[in-house]
Amino acid sequence: MLGDTAVTIEDVLAVAHTLRQVRLSHDPGYIAHIRAGAGFLDRLLKEDGVIYGVTTGYGDSCTVSVPRGLVEELPLHLLRFHGCGLGAYLSHAMSRAVVMTRLVSLAKGYSGVRWDLLERLAAFLNLDVMPLIPEEGSVGASGDLTPLSYLAALVVGEREAVHRGVTRPAKDVLAELDLAPLMLRPKEGLAIMNGTAVMTALACEAYARAEYLTRLTARLTALVSVALQGNRYHFDTRLFDVKPHPGQNQIAAWIRQDLHTGEPPRNSSRLQDRYSIRCAPHVIGVLRDSLPWMRGFIETELNSANDNPIIDGAGEHVLHGGHFYGGHIAFAMDGLKTCVANLADLMDRQLALLVDVKFNHGLPANLSGATKDRAEINHGFKAVQIGASAWTAEALKLTMPASVFSRSTECHNQDKVSMGTIAARDCLRVLELTEQVAAAHVLAAAQAVELRCRATEATGGRRRDVLGEELQRFVDSVFSGFGFVEEDRPLEHDLRQSAARIQRRHWPLYE
């Protein structure tokens, strides 16, 4: 229900992934609030009032007065000259997130748009008709103008639309669904395009994937500790009580839960594990502790009116400002990608320990499950570890903050811009690479603990002495879609399947 209530990251993603439909509040007061803005603009136009982007040109052209007879055509020119996006296209789910995010902002009632336009955007979501949106072309101030022009074009029946997995001319899709193209009213083209919807939509997706990775890396750390016969008391409650970062301590608690620690032994066989095990809560905890303020930045932006000018229908004011500037999203995404890349680095280091006989405490070289008579020709996870190192290096390379690379554009009118959309796209790429590292690590960790369990059983021990119930269920789930690597085989398919599971947040972790 869109109206006066706040929308969450989870709401956006539920709509993006077609788990929920949307509808507008039909509260009479809310409808009157929406209509007040559009009505005020209509009255101002009749009185020959000067309104940026309505009776003037755009950006540096704001000093150009638009003759009254051409005002109705101006929104079409705005969306058409911005039809110059390049690069890959947003996924269908991310296009849905963009439309949802723009609708949430416009539904605040401070953009001067008609009720009919809000209903049309809601219909696009509920009928699953999406614009085909190129990823590249926004500098993240004056809004995501170029990518959002593809949404404005869909409203008027131009360019291309995606419906039922097929890309077709927008006018044909709208005709099939009996949706007449809308003639954009003055200010409506600007209202659709001059906002932070693309970067904010991508940020919602990035946040959810990053949050899941904090859980997964905690689980994998527990598995690696088991596989390497590590000192589980590195995660002791009393240790973490004296450095009380809440997110860091949550990670330690999850690992401790998996390892079922009790009283530390007086004489441990290993006093201290390497940093990638011992300091895992401290590494993962930086991201875990950053999530609350990142959520605050993202959801405040999501629930804001972020175009220009702002229309105060009740007070009858046109307020010119810079709410299209995406600095908060840019900073959150620059920070998030750095935290996520650190998880890739952590997992890469853990995986390097697992495959190396100098550090893996008796596991086979490269985690090969080959029998002794065939060990010489089998190489297990050797190449997978090389791949994980490559993906990690690329993720680390992309952590350069985008927000400090502002460029002066548009005749120096947009002379300081946020780069928020580039930061969000970078963050999603870092997430993709880190998920690939995690996909490799999931398979390697499962293989490692299985090897450890088999070695324990071979000497008369019991599997349950190695793995607790929760870790055993996780390993069983991994092996439900992945065969133990005894003889060398191509693992690309297994890695892709594992990465897809991670992106879908397939394994429920620490609910």
Cα 361 to Cα 153: distance, rounded to the nearest angstrom: 61
Of residues 30, 52, 233, 510, which has the active-site annotation? Answer: 52
Cα 164 to Cα 176: distance, rounded to the nearest angstrom: 12
Type of residue at 465: D
* Alpha helix stretches (DSSP H) within 177-303: 188-193, 197-227, 237-241, 246-259, 275-278, 280-302
Cα 342 to Cα 280: distance, rounded to the nearest angstrom: 10
CA end-to-end span of the chain: 27
Question: Rounded to the nearest 5°, which phi and psi values hold at 135?
Answer: -75, -30
CA distances (Å), origin 222, targets 21, 295, 313, 365, 403: 39, 27, 57, 21, 36
- Polymer length of the chain: 511
Cα 127 to Cα 131: distance, rounded to the nearest angstrom: 12
Is 58 among the residues known to form the active site?
no
Cα 38 to Cα 370: distance, rounded to the nearest angstrom: 72
Cα 287 to Cα 335: distance, rounded to the nearest angstrom: 9
CA distances (Å), origin 100, targets 10, 160, 303: 12, 18, 11
Cβ neighbours of residue 133 under 8 Å, at least 6 residues apart? 85, 89, 90, 95, 98, 147, 150, 151, 198
Cα 253 to Cα 349: distance, rounded to the nearest angstrom: 22
Joined together, the tokens standing for residue 103 give: 């609708």
Cβ neighbours of residue 393 under 8 Å, at least 6 residues apart? none
Cβ neighbours of residue 132 under 8 Å, at least 6 residues apart? 89, 95, 150, 159, 160, 161, 162, 167
Residue 136 C-alpha from the chain's centroid: 17
Which residues does the annotation mark as catalytic? 52
